[in-house]
Amino acid sequence: MQEPLTLDDLTWVRPDWRDALLESLSRLERMLDGVQERAFRQTVVRDALQSLSAEALVAMLVLLVDRARLGNGRARAVLQELALEPTVYEQMPYARVQAAYALARAHGCDDVARMFISALDERNPTADQAFTGNDHMDAPTGVRRSAARSTDRYKLDRLVHDRDHRVIAILLDNPRITERDVVKISAMRPTRPEVLTAVARHRRWSSRYRVRKAICLNPSTPAPIARRLVPTLMRQDLQALLDTGGVTAELRDHARTMLSEREDPEGREGPYRATVDLSGDADPDELASLLASLGGESIETPAGEPIETPAGEPPCTNSD
């Protein structure tokens, strides 16, 4: 088993910073662990990182990545919020982000350096990919936006195929929309990158694992979003990403790196704690099935009640 990193391994961290940095990291993990509301969770993470210098920021992220790789559930939760909140680094001074990127690259911390990359997807879309209408509902954009607020299931089923991100943004807030619908939107091919960006930034749906998986596997997903979400995937889905046609070589390399880092010398995946969104009406059977797919034994809800894997049901090898 690989030994965890310590601040002694991070040569750029000044000795007089170390106690304060460790305390900041522990406080962030504790605070996030006690907050359930998505908006508040992202605020906690954003506020904790905004005041850090480039050196301290890189050090904290390196430690978080290492702790998460070794199975620390709180560290994984912090990294997940960072993956789902793409504006954290954009709100920092450009010079600080640039310095943090250069420092991470200089010390071989490529997984952390990638967090700061916000390069645009430079592919030239085909005419089909650039289409922003709806083949299943021949109506003006204003009519479709109005329909996205309706309770008419017939219309909603057709709006799932819409390629106008303004229509999709309204649709995602409709209480009649289900996770199955959002997975379908995220897996649609071809589609517009703006549509996938709207899903990835949605506070409710971006926390759903199946949605994140569909976004990562979609070749139309903007590269910065895909890079941020890849570390949140389970091992079998990282392998699926390697086998998916259309995604960039850089993204496959990123997935390959994640796979190699999660395996111990005997080729087994390291332990981890699943983060499950229990907001709204949660179906215990669905949660139990999800737990089985994660290969775990129990998930403790905010109320302290464990949900256990169905008796006699072995862990699945496919998250679907």
Q: Is it the case that residue 52 has pLDDT exceeding 70?
A: yes
For the segment 159-175, the average pLDDT, to the nearest whole number, is 95
Provide the token pair at 295.
């290969």
Q: What is the pLDDT of residue 112?
A: 85
On whether residue 270 sits in a domain, the answer given is no
On whether residue 235 sits in a domain, the answer given is yes
Q: What is the pLDDT of residue 88?
A: 78
Q: What is the pLDDT of residue 159?
A: 95
Q: Is it the case that residue 266 has pLDDT exceeding 60?
A: no
On whether residue 165 sits in a domain, the answer given is yes
DSSP string, 133-165: S-TT--S-HHHHHHHTTS--HHHHHHHTT---H
On whether residue 268 sits in a domain, the answer given is no
On whether residue 176 sits in a domain, the answer given is yes
Q: What is the pLDDT of residue 242?
A: 86
68/109 same-domain check: yes
Provide the token pair at 150.
């309706």
Would you say 176 and 151 are in contact if contact means Cβ atoms under 8 Å apart?
yes
Which of 234, 10, 257, 227 is CA-nearest to residue 115? Answer: 227
151/224 same-domain check: yes
B/e letters for 169-187, b = 16+ CB within 10 Å, e = fewer, are bbbbeeeebeeebbbebbb
Task: Give, in degrees to the nearest 5, the angle at Cα 58 between 197 and 43.
Answer: 50
Q: What is the pLDDT of residue 125?
A: 63
For the segment 252-264, the average pLDDT, to the nearest whole number, is 80
Lowest mean pLDDT among 246-255, 261-270, 297-306: 297-306
Which of 216, 242, 264 is CA-nearest to residue 69? Answer: 264
Q: Is it the case that residue 157 has pLDDT exceeding 90?
A: yes
For the segment 37-64, the average pLDDT, to the nearest whole number, is 86
Q: Structural domain of residue 223, as residue ranges?
A: 127-262
CA distance 6 to 195: 41
66/173 same-domain check: no
Q: What is the pLDDT of residue 317?
A: 35
On whether residue 44 sits in a domain, the answer given is yes
Q: What is the pLDDT of residue 255?
A: 87
On whether residue 122 sits in a domain, the answer given is no
Q: What is the pLDDT of residue 156?
A: 95
Q: What is the pLDDT of residue 313?
A: 35
Q: Is it the case that residue 119 has pLDDT exceeding 70?
A: no
Last residue of a domain, one of 215, 232, 262: 262
Written in H, E and C, the secondary structure of 248-264 is CHHHHHHHHHHHHHHEC
For the segment 187-208, the average pLDDT, to the nearest whole number, is 91
Q: What is the pLDDT of residue 37?
A: 79
Q: For residue range 63-111, list pLDDT tens digits in order.
A: 888 888 888 888 888 888 887 776 778 778 888 888 888 898 888 888 8
On whether residue 267 sits in a domain, the answer given is no
160/186 same-domain check: yes
Q: What is the DSSP letter of 176?
A: T
Last residue of a domain, one of 70, 87, 116: 116
Q: What is the pLDDT of residue 118?
A: 53
For the segment 192-200, the average pLDDT, to the nearest whole number, is 93
207/186 same-domain check: yes
188/246 same-domain check: yes
98/45 same-domain check: yes
Please state, for a pLDDT cut of 70, what percent of the chain lies above it: 76
16/131 same-domain check: no
13/101 same-domain check: yes
58/140 same-domain check: no
Q: For residue range 11-36, list pLDDT tens digits in order.
A: 888 888 888 888 888 889 888 888 87
Please state, for a pLDDT cut of 90, what percent of the chain lies above it: 24
Q: What is the pLDDT of residue 312?
A: 35
Helix (H) or strand (E) holding 92: none
CA distance 276 to 77: 10
82/134 same-domain check: no
68/177 same-domain check: no
Last residue of a domain, one of 116, 145, 170: 116
Query: Please, which residues have CB within 8 angstroms of residue 221's CB and are 6 or more apart in sequence?
Result: 193, 196, 200, 215
Which of 30, 25, 3, 2 is CA-nearest to residue 13? Answer: 25
Q: How many domains does the chain have?
A: 3
Q: What is the pLDDT of residue 122?
A: 45
pTM of the model: 0.56
Provide the token pair at 268.
């087994």
